[in-house]
Structure 1
Amino acid sequence: MTGTTTHKRETIRVTAILAHPKNPRRKLGDLSELTASIKAQGVLQDLVVMPGGLKDTYIAIAGHRRQAAAKKAGLTEVPCVIREDLVGDEAAQIQAMLSENLQRSDLNVVEEGDAFQDLLDLGVKPAEISKSTGRTQKLVKERAKIAAAPEHLRSKLIAREATLDEVLTLQSFAKYPLIYEHLAEYIGTHNWAFKVQWAKDDVKRLQKIAKVTAELIAESIRVLPLPKDLAAYRLERSHTLGVNLYWSNEPSRPDDAAGSQDVATTFRHGNPDDLQWCRLLTEQDADDDTPTAQPSKPKPVTDTPPADTDEDAEKAATQLAADLATAAKVRRDHLAKVLHDGGDNDHDIATACLRATIDLALVGVDGDELDYVAELFGIDPADQTADDTERAILDRAQKFNLPQLAILLRLIEQAPAERLLATPYGWTPTGYSRRDQDTWRAEVGNVFGHEWSDVELDMLHRIEIHDGDEE
């Protein structure tokens, strides 16, 4: 035997209803229209409340805006449904509030994400949240990540100065604070896609540096990744030995690198594929012809930038090449997306591509071939220059739809073959253009549906006879 749970319905004083501390909805928004409606018609839908911790008090579960508007309208009491079953079950309370707000589309993505995270913190599984809210498990997990985002990013989301995808992408770099902070500066800008690709590449670089470092350390190699690490170790070693030491660059990995206290390796320009081997030498041992990685005395810091060195120029050139490669990756990803996914403007893109290709194709067409294309448009090229004829063709083509443009492009491309078909040479069974002529004749008959005349059929028959004799 089954039954349905019924809840008490009472009229409760407005002042006895308290806001729930975990209400997903943070702001009530503009209440003017709702207040006017309540003044005119009263509260048409019951609030949902549960008993509060103090006598004769209640906690709002659904209807926070109606309660606030009722106060503004001067009402002292509002109709309520009392949910005693929610007392002591915080997860059930949050789910009830969440369901109410989601049905009304009252929550922004930040409020929704906070509510999902509250439920996850209470041990509610994503599958349970999905079932009770109608949201997919993937969406629940993604939006819950917003709860960990900094407040300024959450504010940008609410103000629609950043998209949900942008914030979620940024959050995926949370384990890398420096990358995260740098990337956050570009959210909502035209440089966002470039910086995301840069961040992905930088994560790969850092992961590879960590891998190479671990492998070298396993061989008892001293790894000093950054220039400051080289400087610190040089000073430490100099102090230990009581002599001034220099870093001297080695052309390759020294044989005694493993276990040596005076040999180290570093990553040139932070590149995990470019190891620079260095050795500490005393002033007496240093070879004047050997370039040093660091002078014995540091240069004083001034407000004037130092002049560019060859190493600075090399570093700048390397960075420029890397940046252009990153930009190319982003650009090509975008082009691939346009190619495969299309979109609302794919028709416009296709039309623009065909027009550009037609424009380029016309550049290689002249003489009789250009006259043939002009003839397709009913243009008489006799009294105008080739440039004027091209412009006239392009002007007429502006009115063409996408299929017409595709056909026009093919006709222009095959103008040389079509020109030859107007002469006996275009029907000869031999010659360097035989293959092109065969292709065009096949298209004219099979694709364009042309019905051959007797003279053309006769020429085709001669070609068949020749090909038969050749076999």
Structure 2
Amino acid sequence: MTTKKKDPAPAPAAAAPAAGTGDIRAVVNVPIEDLARNTRNPRSEVTVDADLVRSIAAVGVMQPLIVVSDGVRDGGPKYRIIAGHRRLQAAIKAGLTAVPCIVRGDLDDAPEQIVAMLAENKDRTDLTVSEEAGAYQALLDLGLTPAKVAKKTGRSVAHVGDHLVLARQSERVRGYVDKGQAKLSDVAALDEFSDDHEEYEKLAGLIGSPSMFQLHLEYARRRRDRAAAAKAARDELAGRGINSVTLDELGEEIAQEQIDAGVDPDEVDGAADIDDVWEELDAEPDDPKSAEVRALVDVHESELVVWLRRRTTPETGSEQEAAQREESAAQARRREEDQAIRQQTEEVAAAARVRWRHLAEQARGVSTAARAEELLRPVVVHLAADRMRQAPLKHEYVRVILGLPEVEITWTNTTDATPVGDIEKAIGLLNRHQLAAAAYLLDEGPQWEMGLLNPHNWRDAQSTRNGTALEDWKERLSLEWGYELADIERRLIVEGETARAAAATEEQDESDVATGEAAGDGAA
């Protein structure tokens, strides 16, 4: 024989307060049948694990549910849950008939309830990204602005905005984000094409495959930009009183001319005959408004506007007609070949941009010293080898910086005097801090050090050959690298300063004399 499980006794509870009293501290024992699920709960699915059920069956609900009054039923209060949907379901499975609740009289309006539920779920990291987005959208639907939603929820406006974009997407797209197969930045990029159903659907079908999505996103953006540029070109031509045509429009025009000439409509293919009827010009003609001229705006061409002139009609069967047909066929082949090459070039460029962004993300993800050294060493080796090949003195500079053995250098042996293996061995002895310093010194150091071999560049504060960069190098030698100037270097600097001071004094004297002479002329 089984007996009904007795509810564990909660802490002493006060009587249920009247709705709207504002008392948010009282804990009351509420019959389960008087509790209703909140339809505005951001979490779409309430799942309960067995451990929670066993815990509640053993010791009861230790953390009261948060509820608000929801009217009167059968003479008693009914409550709607703000926080505790899982605890309620677990309590039901554990056989309880009542649960402890805190009645919040300060959460009467819907926006405040949504914010409270959102905060409660976010604290437990229970919400999926799309559920959080749905909560923000619900607040928006209740009249709040994105800025107010951000303020109420303690999130940034950008965070709320990104999630609101997600809330507008299809269930399929939201699912990709919840599974971690797409990022909010991907969704924002997809949303750029919300007004282009065909393009949107293509991209939405790829958003779960990051590499493919990024590649086709780049293609789509280029197509969109080319279409916008083509529209701008047509508007500019229209402003000049010139009627432009697209490839399709020109094909339709030729087809109509053929039909008007008595050709069977079933045999008409205006697009295929464009190069037979029109020849491409090298530049805009002097008579762009002529009926025999067309401004073809084609997004597939390297130049958006291609100028065409109607071909003269030669006598049928003549050598001129044969030559014209051969020329038009060659022009058509060139057009197809050029378009194929341009398309390949554009696709390769688009793929490269995706690859570069991927590499940038990978670079920002480098977090270990071992990986940093692995990446930096070949760079320093390349810098050293490249500088050593340039000139004997640069070769010597690099050799000294890296602590390589002294060798005799001439213009004829700069490339082979120090094998790359020796350079790699020397650099292999450096730790990551020394690698960074060596990379700095090998980057532009040889150029400035060669400049400082010229005494004039120590005298001249603003070398006309090297500009201010050489002066910056001098300052860094002292300030950053603790270099103490040699007597000759200090003497040359003083000579330069003295010469400049003397020149300035002389210039000022000449100016004073000129001013005095001008004053004397005026007095006379």
* TM-score over 0.5 for the pair: yes
SS in 2 for 1:11: strand
2:146 alignment counterpart: 126
The structural deviation recorded for 1:12 is: 2.8
Q: Are 2:119 and 1:95 equivalent residues in the alignment?
A: no
Segment drifting more, 195-204 vs 280-289? 280-289
1:268 alignment counterpart: 298
Match of 2:100 among 35, 54, 79: 79
- Partner Cα separation in structure 1 for residue 439 and residue 159 of structure 2: 42
Q: Are 2:342 and 1:323 equivalent residues in the alignment?
A: no
- Partner Cα separation in structure 1 for residue 119 and residue 136 of structure 2: 11
Q: Is the 8 A contact 2:42 2:131 kept in 1?
A: yes
The structural deviation recorded for 1:156 is: 0.8
Q: Deviations over 1:374-427 (max 9, x none)?
A: 696375879x98425434323323676345424663798389969x99xxx9xx
1:146 alignment counterpart: 166
SS in 1 for 2:165: helix
Q: Deviations over 1:27-52 (max 9, x none)?
A: 23452343333233321222233426
SS in 1 for 2:29: strand
Alignment of 1:180-195 (within 5 A): 180-187=200-207, 188-195=209-216
Kindly report the root-mean-square deviation, in angstroms, between the aligned alpha carbons of the 2 structures: 5.3
- Partner Cα separation in structure 2 for residue 441 and residue 120 of structure 1: 60
Distance 1:394 1:127, change over 3 A: closer
2:518 alignment counterpart: none
Which structure is larger by alpha-carbon Rg, 1 or 2? 2
The structural deviation recorded for 1:157 is: 0.6
1:199 alignment counterpart: 220
1:304 alignment counterpart: none
SS in 2 for 1:75: coil
SS in 2 for 1:401: helix
2:49 alignment counterpart: 31
1:358 alignment counterpart: 384
Segment drifting more, 310-319 vs 74-83? 74-83
The structural deviation recorded for 1:213 is: 3.4
Match of 2:191 among 164, 171, 174: 171
- Partner Cα separation in structure 1 for residue 361 and residue 285 of structure 2: 49
Match of 1:249 among 278, 295, 301: 278
SS in 1 for 2:100: strand
- Partner Cα separation in structure 2 for residue 457 and residue 263 of structure 1: 78
2:246 alignment counterpart: 225
1:377 alignment counterpart: 403
1:20 alignment counterpart: 38
The aligned amino acid for 2:80 is I
Distance 1:242 1:20, change over 3 A: farther
- Partner Cα separation in structure 1 for residue 235 and residue 398 of structure 2: 70
Q: Is the 8 A contact 1:170 1:180 kept in 2?
A: yes
Q: Is the 8 A contact 2:245 2:296 kept in 1?
A: yes
The aligned amino acid for 2:93 is K
Q: Deviations over 1:45-104 (max 9, x none)?
A: 2223342686565433221111122223332221223457766x5444433423332344
Q: List runs of 5+ in structure 2 lacking aligned partners.
A: 1-19, 409-415, 460-464, 504-524
Q: List runs of 5+ in structure 1 lacking aligned partners.
A: 296-307, 430-434
Distance 1:345 1:54, change over 3 A: same
Distance 1:31 1:377, change over 3 A: same
- Partner Cα separation in structure 2 for residue 293 and residue 28 of structure 1: 73
Distance 1:336 1:13, change over 3 A: closer
Q: Is the 8 A contact 1:268 1:276 kept in 2?
A: no
- Partner Cα separation in structure 1 for residue 444 and residue 183 of structure 2: 46
- Partner Cα separation in structure 2 for residue 146 and residue 366 of structure 1: 61
Q: How many residues align?
A: 439
- Partner Cα separation in structure 1 for residue 112 and residue 427 of structure 2: 68
- Partner Cα separation in structure 2 for residue 22 and residue 281 of structure 1: 74
Q: Are 2:137 and 1:117 equivalent residues in the alignment?
A: yes
SS in 2 for 1:149: coil
The structural deviation recorded for 1:351 is: 3.7
The structural deviation recorded for 1:310 is: 3.5
The structural deviation recorded for 1:177 is: 2.7
Alignment of 1:415-430 (within 5 A): none
The structural deviation recorded for 1:131 is: 2.7
Q: Deviations over 1:141-186 (max 9, x none)?
A: 3211111112221111100111111112211221223332333344
Distance 1:249 1:15, change over 3 A: farther
Segment drifting more, 344-353 vs 161-170? 344-353
SS in 2 for 1:270: coil
Distance 1:141 1:378, change over 3 A: closer
Distance 1:239 1:30, change over 3 A: farther
2:63 alignment counterpart: 45
- Partner Cα separation in structure 1 for residue 493 and residue 344 of structure 2: 59
The aligned amino acid for 1:392 is K
Q: Deviations over 1:100-130 (max 9, x none)?
A: 3234433222111112112212222223322
